[in-house]
Structure 1
Amino acid sequence: MAANRLDQPRELRRTFRPHYDPEAFGRLSERIARFLGTARFLVYMTGFIAVWVLWNALAPRSLTFDPYPFIFLTLILSLQASYAAPLILLAQNRQADRDRVQSEQDRMTTERNQAEVEYLTREIAGLRLALGELATRDFIRGELEHLFDEVLESARREGPRRPPRRLESDSE
């Protein structure tokens, strides 16, 4: 029985449901929703309604669309709105999914950048500590001046120094 095995795909069954590509349908709905949100659509819709109203208001009764022409216009506008709303919602959901993915990528990038900044901060702190332990030129100069002052003070206390005596073995 291959049908009960989970590692095997199911056999395709015939159904009465229509088959469609959700990605292609999503792209189409986004294009429609993008068009519905433009000034061009508003101009086209305004032109269509103006032509409809003028035609049915000024044309002879034999050339109008219906004895009650504005009811048919209301029906058309209701149908347009009933399809436009779900298409716009579908496009918004797809955009929200893309935004969620982008937000996750941004969060990961931010975490990586924060870790790098923390690492660099620790490195800079380590370098500052290491530099604090190094003898700088001013420190060495100060120490030499201090030693020179001590030697001068010691020489003043002892008075003039006599030259050391030479040993006989040195003169030979």
Structure 2
Amino acid sequence: MAPERETATRERTPAGTGAAARPRHARLDQPAPPRRRVLPEWDPEAFGRLSERIARFLGTGRFLVWMTFVIIMWVLWNVAAPSALRFDEYPFIFLTLMLSLQASYAAPLILLAQNRQDDRSRVELEQDRRQNERSIADTEYLTREIAALRIGLGEVATRDWIRSELQDVVKDLEDRQDGHGHGVFPAERPHRRDVDDR
């Protein structure tokens, strides 16, 4: 039975797939070798900043003035110039192609700039939300502390309360003095100079 199992195992595994023929996996403690890329690499942040600059320029009046000036000069040159110097005749097909090309590039650049602005707005909203949560938590904490201080101060004798109590005591003393004919405190003896102290 054992020889039959060995022959069945050999038949299942094609030749050259043994332990020596298997590709070795890269070690995890070493950096992977750089991969060759067919497409050129670019910095997404730099490309995004460039697209924002272009989109910002496309939305200005300066761009509209320059584009209008170029179109007017294009049409005038191709209408009034000698026939040998004209490069775009009356239907202005080349001008239409250039404007279509400009529009086809402007739209994705504007969308890319808007996406970057949306991402920034989302991050700012998240930061504002966290800041608002911290402010609310701080306000609730201060409110609880102020309430605890008020409760604690309710049991402390204040200046007005002490003043009112002293006024009541003075009034009671005056009432007793008027009712008995003599003061509550014993009469003070006249001060005599002590002759022995000299």
TM-score (norm. length: structure 1): 0.77
The 1:7/1:97 distance shift into structure 2, 3 A limit, reads: farther
Which deviates more, 23-32 or 73-82? 23-32
Matched, 1:98 2:120: yes
Of 77, 86, 97 in structure 2, the residue corresponding to residue 75 of structure 1 is 97
User: 1:56·1:69 contact (CA, 8 Å) conserved in 2?
Assistant: no
Conserved? CA contact 2:48–2:116, under 8 Å: yes
Structure 1 letter corresponding to 2:120: R
Moved over 6 A (4+): 5-8
- The verdict on how the C-alpha distance between 1:72 and 1:6 changes in structure 2, with shifts beyond 3 A counting, is farther
How is 1:23-172 mapped onto 2 (pairs within 5 angstroms)? 23-149=45-171, 152=175, 156=179
Q: Which amino acid aligns with 2:153?
A: L
In terms of mean alpha carbon deviation, does 37-46 or 132-141 score higher?
132-141
> Which of the pair has more CA radius of gyration?
2
Question: Aligned letter for 2:108?
Answer: P
The question of whether the paired residues in 2 share the 8 Å contact of 1:66 and 1:72 is answered with yes
Structure 2 unaligned spans of 5+: 1-23, 183-198
Within 2, Cα distance between the matches of 1:109 and 1:27? Answer: 28
Which structure 1 residue ranges, 5 or more long, are not aligned? Answer: 162-172
Task: Give the letter for the 1:2 counterpart.
Answer: H
User: What TM-score comes out, normalization by structure 2 length?
Assistant: 0.68
CA gap of 1:148–1:14, structure 2 versus 1, over 3 A, is closer
Q: Deviations over 1:59-115 (max 9, x none)?
A: 222221133451211111010000000001111111111121122122222222222
Rounded to whole Å, the distance in 2 between the matches of 1:75 and 1:10 is: 47
State the Cα RMSD in Å. Answer: 2.6
